[in-house]
Amino acid sequence: MRTLRIAIVLALALACAAPTAAQAARYHGRAAGNNPNGSGLIGKHRFVSGDSYAVQFRDGQAANTRYRACAFMRGKRKGCTTSHTGGRNRWSTVTSDRIWQPDRVGRIVYRWYVDGKRVASWSVNFEAEPE
């Protein structure tokens, strides 16, 4: 009985924490860096300290969507910025240091909010510069 209650609580917590399927299809967020073949930006999960990189968001159904992007490290919010998307399904870009410039290496999770609801997230490993 206790195991069943724990399973139900975990299922409800996951359902509330994750964006809905409709939102996941509509909204997209990513941290982006240069494509090695030179054809623009691509989503990346690893950056080197000292680098500033693009943090991008798009709305697949509407233009001029107001959103808030926040950076979290070790579960604590470190910084946020507010912006608007451009055209429908076009990437809106802010630089990572506009949100927060980390003072140490580790995992950063970016989360995007529209109307106060989390609609996208992307994790980045922020690593020390190789010597």
Half-sphere exposure of 81 (CA within 13 A, CB side): 17
pLDDT of residue 128: 86
- Check whether 2 has a pLDDT greater than 80: no
Q: What is the pLDDT of residues 26-74, one digit of tens each?
A: 999 999 998 888 888 999 999 988 778 999 999 999 999 999 999 999 9
- Check whether 12 has a pLDDT greater than 70: no
DSSP string, the chain: -HHHHHHHHHHHHHHHHSPPHHHHHHEEEEEEEE-TTSSSEEE-SEEETT---EEEEEESS-SS-EEEEEEEETTEEEEEEEEE--STT--EEEEHHHH---SS-EEEEEEEEETTEEEEEEEEEEEPPP-
pLDDT of residue 5: 57
Set out the domains of the chain in order of their start, with CATH numbers.
19-127 (2.60.40.2550)
Q: What is the pLDDT of residues 82-123, one digit of tens each?
A: 999 999 999 999 999 999 988 788 999 999 999 999 999 999
